[in-house]
Amino acid sequence: MTNAVPEIRGADLLFVIGSNTTEAHPVIAMEMKRAVVRGAKLIVADPRSIWLTGIADVHLQLRPGTDVALLTAMAHVIVAEDLVDHAFIAEHTENVEAVVDAVRDCTPEWAEGVTGVPADLIRQAARMYATTEKAGIYYTLGITEHTHGTDNVYSLANLVLLTGHLGKPSAGMNPLRGQNNVQGANDAGASPIYYPGYQRVDDPEAQERWEAAWGVPLSPEPGLNLNVMMKGLRDGRIRGLYVMGEDILVSEPNASALEEGLNNAEFIVVQDILPTETMRFADVVLPAACFAEKDGVFTNTDRRVQRVRKAVEPPGEARADWQILCDMARAVGYPMPDYAHPGAVYAEMASNSPMFAGIRHERIGAAGLQWPCPEPGHPGTPTLHVDGPKKGKATFMPAAYRPSEELADDAFPLVLSTGRTLYHYNAGTQTRRANGASTKQPGNFIEMHRYDARKRGLANGDRVEVSSRRGAIEAEVVVSPRMRVGCVWMPMHFPEQLTNRLTTDAGDTVTGTAEYKVCAVQVSPLAAAK
C-alpha cells in the first residue's frame, strides 16, 4: 500500500475496484464514507451493486473477469486525450511506449463489448481519475483472485504511472489486505520467493546475509506457492504438511480434490487456536495462543507495525506460535537461539532487513511505525515514493485482455464469484462460534438476479443445488437486485455446504493465486436436482 489509511479522508477521488469494502474492510470503508461526505468523488468497479455503489458518482458494473479490458480502455482514453503527466513519466518511469502501443486499439467501444460497461461511462471514469490531483486506487481480492490477477495489478499500476498519482498524499495504489497481519507475515518472509524484508532468495547478496545470520547454507531456488502445494498433495509431490493459522480445507479452491490430497498425505501437523475442518486430517495438533494471549507485533494493511500485548494467559497447553516454532526447530536439530521475548525475534529480522532496520518493540508507540524505517530515530514512512520510485524508475508493464479460465456454457450457464460477508470472517473458525454472527447468518446462500431466479422457477428462500465441474452443494436463494444477469455470488464461510467445492484451482501464471472470482455453475431447484 503506497499510502496510509488516514489519507483516505483527504482524497478528492477514490477509485475502488474489486473490493466490497464496507463488508470486507468496514473500518477503511468508514474513511471512504467520510471522504465522500466531505466532497470526494467515488468510482466503483464491481460486478455487483455493493453498498458503496449507492453513494458512487460512477458504477462500472463489469462482467466478472474483464478488469484488464476495462482498465486498458481507461488507459486508452488517458493517452488518446493527452491526460498523461508527461513530466512525471519522463523523470520517474520507463517503458511507457510499450503501454501506449498496447492500449492503442483498446477503445471504450471495444471494452464495452467485453465488459458490458457503456463506453461513455468508461470515458467519464478515465477523465475523472486522470484530472483529479489527489486520486487513490483501492483494491482487494476481486482484482487478484483471477488467472490474470497479475495483469490486473499491472493495469492498475499503469493508470497510476500515466497520471503521476504516486508519491503524493491521498493518492497512490492501495491493496487492502485480506486478513489481520497478512502484511506482517509477508514482511517476515512467509513467501516462497523472499527472505524477511522482501529480499529475494535468488539474490546472492541476500542469501549471504541470511546464511550469516542463521548459520546454515540456504538454497537460492524459489519455493512452491500455495496453489502448487495443494495440487502437490494430490499427485504425491508433497507428502507432509504443516498448517498454521489457516483452515485450508475451507479457504482453498476445489475443496473435494484438496480433501483427496489431505487423505493421501503421510503426515500433517495443524497449529491453531480452535478446531478447524483441516484439523480432522491432522496427525498432530499443536494448540496456539490467540492475539490476546501473547506479545508481539502485527503489521496492518498500510505497513504500520503495531505492538500486541498479552492481556490473559493462554489456556491449557496453548503457547505463542513463535515459541512452538522455536521448539520445533530445536527438535529437528537446528540450534535455535533462546529468545527471551518476541521483541528479540523482530530485532533479528530488522537488523538484517534495511527497510525495518529502525524498528524495535521498545520504539513502537500507540500509533505504530510504518516501514520503510531504515534507522533508529526515523519516524517511519506514511507515503511511499515521495522522492520518486524506490527502485529508481517505475516500469510500465503492458497487459492484454484474455478471458478467464472457465467461462459459462450450456451445461453451466452462470458465472459464480465468491467472497466474504460483514458477519463472518474468512473460514469462520472464530465467527461461526459467535452467537450473534451465526444467528444473523446461519448458513450458506446464493445471490442471483430475479431474471435468473424466475427462469429457473425460484423464489427468495428456496433451497437449491449449485453445481460446477468439480462438485455440488446446497444453498438458499437470495433474489438480489445487486447482481448482474447471468452472475451469482456466494460467501465462503460455511463448511457444512462448502462453496469452495465449486471453485476452480486454476491459478494466476505468476503468483498461483486461484480464480475464486470466476467459475461456471448451474443452479437447480433442489427437488429437481435430486
**Would you say the C-alpha torsion 498, 503, 504, 509 has a positive or negative sign?**
negative
Is residue 136 helix, strand or coil? Answer: strand
**Would you say the C-alpha torsion 453, 454, 458, 459 has a positive or negative sign?**
positive
Q: What is the mean pLDDT of residues 423-435?
A: 78
The answer to whether residues 376 and 358 touch, using CB atoms and an 8 Å cutoff, is yes
The answer to whether residues 180 and 298 touch, using CB atoms and an 8 Å cutoff, is yes
The answer to whether residues 138 and 170 touch, using CB atoms and an 8 Å cutoff, is no
Assess whether pLDDT exceeds 80 at residue 426: no
pLDDT at 296: 95
**Would you say the C-alpha torsion 147, 497, 424, 241 has a positive or negative sign?**
negative
Which residue has better confidence, 396 or 437? 396
Assess whether pLDDT exceeds 90 at residue 427: no
Is residue 342 helix, strand or coil? Answer: helix
Q: What's the pLDDT band for 276 if we cut at 50, 70, 90?
A: very high
Share of the chain above pLDDT 70, in %: 99
The answer to whether residues 283 and 269 touch, using CB atoms and an 8 Å cutoff, is yes
Residue 495 cell numbers, joined = 463448511
- Degrees to nearest 5, angle at CA 276 with 273 and 282: 95
Distance CA 122, CA 128 (A): 10
The answer to whether residues 425 and 461 touch, using CB atoms and an 8 Å cutoff, is no
pLDDT at 209: 96
pLDDT at 497: 92
Q: What is the mean pLDDT of residues 494-513?
A: 92
Nearest to 296 by CA among 187, 429, 424, 174: 187
Ordered by where they begin, the domains of the chain are 5-176 (3.40.228.10), 182-370 (3.40.50.740), 414-529 (2.40.40.20)
Buried residues in 327-352 as b, exposed as e (16+ CB within 10 A): eeeeeeeeeeeeeeebbebbbebbeb
pLDDT at 528: 56
The answer to whether residues 154 and 95 touch, using CB atoms and an 8 Å cutoff, is no
Q: What is the 3-state secondary structure (H, E, C) of 278-302?
A: HHHHCCEEEEECCHHHCCEEEECCC
pLDDT at 196: 96
Share of the chain above pLDDT 90, in %: 90
Q: First CA to last CA across the chain, in angstroms?
A: 48
- Degrees to nearest 5, angle at CA 441 with 438 and 442: 60
Assess whether pLDDT exceeds 80 at residue 527: no
Q: Per mean pLDDT, which range of 61-65, 96-100, 506-510 is the poorest?
A: 506-510
Assess whether pLDDT exceeds 60 at residue 530: no
Q: What's the pLDDT band for 435 if we cut at 50, 70, 90?
A: confident
Assess whether pLDDT exceeds 60 at residue 529: no
- The kind and range of the H/E element at 519 are strand 519-525
The predicted model scores a pTM of 0.94
Assess whether pLDDT exceeds 60 at residue 262: yes
User: DSSP class of residue 315?
Assistant: P
Q: DSSP labels for 222-246? A: ----HHHHHHHHHHTS--EEEEES-
Residue 411 cell numbers, joined = 451445461
Question: What is the chain's mean pLDDT, rounded?
Answer: 94
Distance CA 340, CA 344 (A): 7
List pLDDT tens digits, range 87-120.
Answer: 999 999 999 999 999 999 999 999 999 999 999 9
φ, ψ of residue 265 in degrees (nearest 5): -65, 145
Q: Per mean pLDDT, which range of 110-124, 269-283, 415-429 is the poorest?
A: 415-429
Distance CA 323, CA 487 (A): 46
Q: How many helices (H) and strands (E) does the chain have?
A: 19, 21
The answer to whether residues 476 and 465 touch, using CB atoms and an 8 Å cutoff, is no
Q: How far is CA 401 from the centre of its chain?
A: 21
pLDDT at 43: 98
List pLDDT tens digits, range 341-395.
Answer: 999 999 999 999 999 999 999 999 999 999 999 999 999 999 999 998 988 999 9
pLDDT at 438: 74
Nearest to 427 by CA among 246, 301, 275, 259: 246
Residue 510 cell numbers, joined = 505468476
Full strand arrangement of the beta sheet holding 58-60: 58-60, 41-45, 13-17, 135-139, 173-175
Q: What is the mean pLDDT of residues 35-41?
A: 97
List pLDDT tens digits, range 187-236.
Answer: 999 999 999 999 999 999 999 999 999 999 999 999 999 999 999 999 99
Contacts 24+ apart (CB under 8 A), 310-319: 314/289, 314/290, 316/287, 317/287, 318/273, 318/287, 318/288, 318/289, 318/293, 319/287, 319/288, 319/289
Residue 228 burial (10 A CB sphere; 0-12, 13-18, 19+): middle
The answer to whether residues 159 and 127 touch, using CB atoms and an 8 Å cutoff, is no
